[in-house]
Copies of this chain bind each other. A is one copy, B any other.
Amino acid sequence: MLIVKKFGGSSVADAECIRRVAGIIADDYSEGHDIVVVLSAQGDTTDDLIAKAGEINEKPSRREMDALLATGEQVSIALMAMALEKMGLPVISLTGRQAGILTNTDYSSARITKVDSERIRMELDRRRIVIVAGFQGTNKYDDITTLGRGGSDTTAVAIASALHADRCQFYKDVLGVYTTDPRKVPGARKLDFITYDEMMELASLGAQVLHNRSVQMAKRYGVALEIRSSFEPRVPGTIVKEVSNMEKTKISGVAKDTDTARIAILGLRDEPGIAFRVFRIISNAKINVDIILQSIGRDNTQDISFTVGKADRETAVAALMEAQDSLGFNKIDVSENIAKVSIVGAGMMSASGIATTMFEALFDAKVNINMISTSEIKISVLVDEKDADRAVAAIHNKFFD
């Protein structure tokens, strides 16, 4: 089999971690598999580099930031290659560029446009283990780019797709994908299978197992994913693929996301296209919006509320304030002590009563719902942050007990 394995920053944080991961890689290699490994930067390296830049320039160009940050993964791959060399195995490290990860020119949040896999294939043909730097690529100007959040996961999927790998394995500090957070809810169960869509909803809902973007790419190119534990590398994890087990529970998970802030724009002029103009401003500021609630117009004004990641809150408000005159609103109200609680399940909407059961669980637990959002495979509610854990447990127990 051709296997792509991805290890995150905590898995390669120090020499001991690196040796342990090298052991996992060596085991699979010795079974005759072709192995490509994608690594993140060690532990806090990226944060340390950002801090270093901050001492010099609080707003450096994104091009230079990418050149700086890309060193983190380069250190990881060289050290991992050295650990495998020490075990007597043939191995080679490749930076994003050497691995043929080509991106657009959107520094710090670049998209992969192509994987030119010739070099990787050549190294695999020589029976070498190939260690690739995640999170980074190169653009048409021959500049280093980084892929933004979840970038290393995306690198792994892009390589798995380009190589038609049999499996793309993500090693995490959990055994797989659970029906909800096992550290919080004792009854949480590990799923053997999950669909891409379910996984994406879980990822974007704070389950923090895999970044949405990488799952989306995996779905598009039909890359079979697997979430495994780096501490229990022999235990099968959760497999993410198109057709999930049809006999499973109607919902596959309950997730909580506290990295969310609600922004309410109050007293907007009630005129055609106002929502479009609001969200164009937000999208020009490169901010992703999640739940949107638009009030019905009254007295020629209306309110629009939406949620964004906490890190984007200030940028979003600043962008809107700059356009206050042209949009013509009264004020902006920001709320941070909120959480999004969601249930996810393929075909959930076709099964009646799921939403009712969820709302009933919240009612029983005396949790107030602020906003509701639904999709084909997801129902999310916005609740006060202090109620979030209680809400997750109540919903989980209602569905799984």
**A40-58 interface mask toward B, CB cutoff 8 Å, 1 = contact, 0 = none?**
0000000001001101110
Residue from B52, B61, B63, B68 in contact with A74 in the complex, judged by beta carbons closer than 8 Å? B68
Q: Is residue A70 contacting chain B, with contact meaning CB distance below 8 A?
A: yes
Beyond A64-B93, A119-B142, whether A57 also contacts B74 by CB under 8 A is no
Q: Is residue A95 contacting chain B, with contact meaning CB distance below 8 A?
A: yes
Q: Which residues of the partner chain B approach A55 to less than 8 Å between Cβ atoms? A: 15
The secondary-structure label for the interface of chain A is: helix
* Contact present for A65 and B52 (CB under 8 Å): no
**A65-93 interface mask toward B, CB cutoff 8 Å, 1 = contact, 0 = none?**
10110110011011101110110000011
Beyond A70-B74, A93-B67, A142-B119, whether A61 also contacts B85 by CB under 8 A is yes
Instruction: Please measure, in the bound complex, the distance between the C-alpha atom of A78 and the C-alpha atom of B65, giving whole angstroms.
Output: 7
Q: Which of A141-192 contact B (CB under 8 A)?
A: 142-144
* Contact present for B64 and A82 (CB under 8 Å): yes
Beyond A98-B143, A119-B142, whether A57 also contacts B83 by CB under 8 A is yes
Instruction: Please measure, in the bound complex, the distance between the C-alpha atom of A77 and the C-alpha atom of B71, giving whole angstroms.
Output: 12
Return A232 CB to nearest CB of chain B, in Å: 23
Instruction: Please measure, in the bound complex, the distance between the C-alpha atom of A45 and the C-alpha atom of B199, giving whole angstroms.
Output: 41
Beyond A79-B52, A119-B142, whether A85 also contacts B67 by CB under 8 A is no
Q: Which residues of the partner chain B approach A61 to less than 8 Å between Cβ atoms? A: 81-82, 85
Q: Which of A208-245 contact B (CB under 8 A)?
A: none
Q: Which of A248-287 contact B (CB under 8 A)?
A: none
Instruction: Please measure, in the bound complex, the distance between the C-alpha atom of A75 and the C-alpha atom of B69, giving whole angstroms.
Output: 8
Return A37 CB to nearest CB of chain B, in Å: 14
* Contact present for B77 and A67 (CB under 8 Å): yes
Q: Is residue A353 contacting chain B, with contact meaning CB distance below 8 A?
A: no
Q: Is residue A6 contacting chain B, with contact meaning CB distance below 8 A?
A: no
Q: Is residue A32 contacting chain B, with contact meaning CB distance below 8 A?
A: no
Q: Which residues of the partner chain B approach A67 to less than 8 Å between Cβ atoms? A: 74, 77-78, 81, 93, 95
When C-beta atoms are compared, the residue in chain B nearest to A133 turns out to be B67
Return A20 CB to nearest CB of chain B, in Å: 12
When C-beta atoms are compared, the residue in chain B nearest to A22 turns out to be B56
Q: Which residues of the partner chain B approach A81 to less than 8 Å between Cβ atoms? A: 60-61, 64, 67
29 A-B interface contacts by CB (under 8 A)? A15-B52, A15-B55, A15-B56, A18-B56, A19-B56, A53-B78, A53-B79, A56-B82, A56-B86, A57-B82, A57-B85, A60-B81, A60-B86, A61-B81, A64-B78, A64-B82, A64-B85, A65-B82, A67-B77, A67-B95, A68-B74, A68-B75, A68-B78, A68-B79, A68-B82, A71-B71, A95-B144, A98-B143, A119-B142
Given contacts A53-B82, A64-B82, A71-B74, 15 further A-B contacts (CB under 8 A): A19-B56, A57-B83, A57-B85, A60-B85, A60-B86, A61-B81, A63-B92, A64-B81, A67-B74, A67-B77, A67-B81, A68-B75, A95-B144, A98-B143, A119-B142
